[in-house]
Amino acid sequence: MLSHNLGYPRVGSHRELKKASEQFWAGKISREALQKVAQQIRRENWQTQKEAGIDLIPSNDFSLYDHVLDTSLMVGAIPERYHQLIDGKSNRELDLYFAMARGIQRDGLDIKAMEMTKWFDTNYHYLVPEFVKNQKFRRYSDKVLLEFEDALHQGIVTKPVFVGPVTYLLLGKEKEGGFDRIDLLDNLLPIYISVLKELSARGAEWVQLDEPGLVLDLTEKEKLAFQSAYSQIREALPKLKVLVATFFDALEENLPIATGLPIDALHIDLTRGAESFKSLLEDAAFVSSSKILSLGVVDGRNIWKNDYQKSLDFVSEAVKVLGENRVFVAPSSSLLHSPYDLDLEKNEEVLTPDVKNWMAFAKQKLKEVTTIAKLAGTDWASDEDFIANQKAVGSRKNSLLIHKPVVKKRAAAIKEEDFERLNQFSVRQAIQLEKLKLPLFPSTTIGSFPQTDEVRQLRANLKKGTLTLEVYENRIKEEIISSLRWQEELGIDVLVHGEFERNDMVEYFGESLSGFVFTQNGWVQSYGSRCVKPPIIYGDVERPAPMTVKWSSFAQANSEKLVKGMLTGPVTILQWSFVRDDQPRKDTAFQIGLAIRDEVVDLEKAGIKIIQIDEPAIREGLPLRKHAWKTYLTWAVDAFRLSAAGVADQTQIHTHMCYAEFNDIIDSIAAMDADVITIETSRSQMELLNAFAEFNYPNEIGPGVYDIHSPRIPTVDEMIYLLEKALKVIPARNLWVNPDCGLKTRKWPETEAALRNMISAASLLRESV
């Protein structure tokens, strides 16, 4: 039984690619030096996979920035604005590539980057292909051929990986009206076919075409496109073995399309789409064909050890129906979404051995795949690897580190009224108006202030132990005090303490909650050179002690003005962590919700009258299929409400979200019932508010009046313009004035200038009504 891998992380085990790219962008190293680092990583990755015993090792899964961008370069889908960078010299290809990825502003050029968006429901971001009417494609980059050759020199005949043609089109965007991008398929396919032919001529036996588009809701035309694409590929390349990979969800109604494709192997994700498995084995056409079924049994997107028993059950069932030669074993998806190597976690205080023993990162997952393939068909119960695996998996099932009866009992006792504030919003609003005495159009910020190197150094030194807790806390207090004086001087109505003590809005809370662990090197690529190191939620979540009360009450004690308490919401904490796979996400979200609820109640007790619970990640959690949205949104909204509803009517609950689409989930946002919501809107010139207006959104709203992602200082006039636009759709008494998001990535001078203008805009507006 063959084992194969769909893709490997590519930033390097110590983020070598990140470092080299950033140095290259800064002009500090040559393109040859960058290419060398890249080649080194690819070779190491191939070697690692070879040593693990993977039969079909991928190539072209590597990317200097993003594999969808690589595809755009391969097929010459280069938007017009970059054409001046095409000059035929191959050493310029890199400049063009990074200009598309990051924009370019030099030598008299000023070209914006391509848009970036999330890769399905992962935290990886890709560059959105741009299509025009009658888009022509042509072969441009030969990256896939070069990488195949490079591996060949190392004695490895790889299985080149592509974003499949239909998914590639689905991922893109029409940049003008009058056509449907799926109609570009016939223009696009000759490019794929020509590349595939060349690969085949150079000795490729297998290719992998990733078509996760098959797990989405598709139109009839899109469904037909799959059939057409693969028939054409088959016709042009009767001998090349084609594996179509689907992942991240079940095939559902697209199953007959997938099974009907004239291909050699179909890969399915058994960690997220196990129901496809049963249907496939009952699909007479598939069973009677000679097609191979690739079983994605090892989770490519989480860090838990595989349960061999469970995986071997899947494999045995498939073998029973299809025979041994028609089954492959693989990870569920590319391992791009896993950290590199668990063996690099050497600090036992950070990651204790018992918890570590429940985990597997990319390198360990390779071994899991090959072990499962090895054990299949044998008498595995007595195998050493199997026994060790079952021991680890079993110890996790019952560990008291994970299972805390008090937490479970409390979660089980949640009642309907725990989700409800005492009175409805209109009643609360009247009470808050009287108690908080805020002016019309109150001004505030979203929480964080510029994080200077000095502040970062403080936290780092505390961690390293070169700074005592006392000195550290005194320095943070000084920062808070000076930011309070500064906010008062600017004339902001609702102050914040500035979040100087926080490294990251999720990590900070994870570090204070039980049930979380952290890694030292568990980096996962988010986009380009940006990597994140998500916390790991391994057990029942509990709040052993207050987490923010000390800082918030210190701040409140040092100002006459209202200071907002600042928390991260349960869905965002869940979404930006590796989560448990031994209980539904909902249960974990509720446990976190209860912990945050306790914090909210404690803040109220400490005299904090306004509390913000940030939920920027609610939208990201949406399932890929529309029919599953409702279930998710119901528990996500409930988790937030659970965290917020423990306080009296007079305590004002804020939430904050910074993403750009509210239309299709506006009813859920309203159901969160925050007294005030601050949102990102400036980049859309307040267009996004229309969703709130059309819905008759009843609660208070702070639509961001300027974009914090740029150092540009907004003028008073443009902010008044935006606020007046907002006033057309929001009642005056409901309108707040604030930036789009937190200010931690900005510098102090520009922040001061921008906020000064913002406050002027608010007061001018007040005078004018």
* CB-closest chain residue to ligand GLN: 742
Nearer to ligand GLN, 69 or 496 (CB): 496
Which one among 505, 600, 679, 705 touches ligand GLN, defined by CB under 6 A?
505
List of residues 6+ apart from 761 with CB closer than 8 A: 705, 716, 719, 720, 723, 737
DSSP per residue, 306-362: P-HHHHHHHHHHHHHHH-GGGEEEEESS-GGGS-S-GGG---TTTS-HHHHTTB--H
SS3 state of residue 250: coil
Catalytic residues: 709
Instruction: Please list every residue from 596 through 625 that binds Zn ion, using CB under 5 A.
Output: 616
List of residues 6+ apart from 431 with CB closer than 8 A: 649, 650
Instruction: Please list every residue from 131 through 190 that binds ligand GLN, using CB under 6 A.
Output: none
Residue 200, marked binder: no
Q: Could you give the string, one character per residue 402-441, with x where binding to ligand GLN holds by CB under 6 A and - elsewhere?
A: ----------------------------------------
CA-based radius of gyration for the chain: 27
Nearer to Zn ion, 302 or 448 (CB): 448
| Closest CA relative to residue 300, chosen from 333, 327, 276 | 333
Residue 448: contacted member of ligand GLN, Zn ion, none (CB under 5 to 8 Å, by partner type): ligand GLN
Torsion of the alpha carbons at 474, 478, 481 and 483, rounded to the nearest 10? -130
Contact between 616 and ligand GLN per CB under 6 A: yes
Task: Tell me how far apart the terminal alpha carbons of the chain are, to the nearest angstrom.
Answer: 75
Residue 744: contacted member of ligand GLN, Zn ion, none (CB under 5 to 8 Å, by partner type): ligand GLN
Residue 530, marked binder: yes
DSSP per residue, 579-592: --SSS-HHHHHHHH
Q: Could you give the string, one character per residue 376-395, with x where binding to ligand GLN holds by CB under 6 A and - elsewhere?
A: --------------------
Q: Could you give the string, one character per residue 639-678, with x where binding to ligand GLN holds by CB under 6 A and - elsewhere?
A: -----------------x-x--------------------
For residue 676, the tally of other CB atoms under 10 A from its CB is: 24
Nearer to ligand GLN, 278 or 530 (CB): 530
| Spatial distance between the Cα atoms of 302 and 453, rounded to a whole number of angstroms | 33
Residue 499, marked binder: yes
Q: Do 732 and 433 touch, CB atoms closer than 8 A?
A: no
The letter for the amino acid at 497 is H
Residue 15, marked binder: yes
Contact between 658 and Zn ion per CB under 5 A: yes
Number of residues that bind ligand GLN (CB under 6 A): 13
List of residues 6+ apart from 300 with CB closer than 8 A: 6, 247, 271, 331, 332, 333, 334, 335, 336, 337, 338, 365
Which one among 446, 495, 636, 689 touches ligand GLN, defined by CB under 6 A?
446
Number of residues that bind Zn ion (CB under 5 A): 3
Nearer to ligand GLN, 402 or 505 (CB): 505
- φ/ψ of 211, rounded to 5, equals -125, 60
Contact between 614 and ligand GLN per CB under 6 A: yes
Nearer to ligand GLN, 370 or 445 (CB): 445
Residue 403, marked binder: no
| Spatial distance between the Cα atoms of 366 and 3, rounded to a whole number of angstroms | 9
Contact between 741 and Zn ion per CB under 5 A: yes
- Only one of the segments 400-408, 589-597, 724-732, 733-741 lies at the binding site for Zn ion (rule: CB under 5 A); that segment is 733-741
In the complex, least distance from residue 689 CB atom to Zn ion, rounded to whole angstroms: 16
Residue 41, marked binder: no
Q: Which residue has the tokens 């979040």?
A: 499
Known binding residues for L-homocysteine: 446-448, 499, 614
Interface ranges with ligand GLN (CB under 6 A): 446-448, 499, 505, 566, 614, 616, 656, 658, 741-742, 744
Known binding residues for 5-methyltetrahydropteroyltri-L-glutamate: 15-18, 118, 123, 530-531, 576, 620
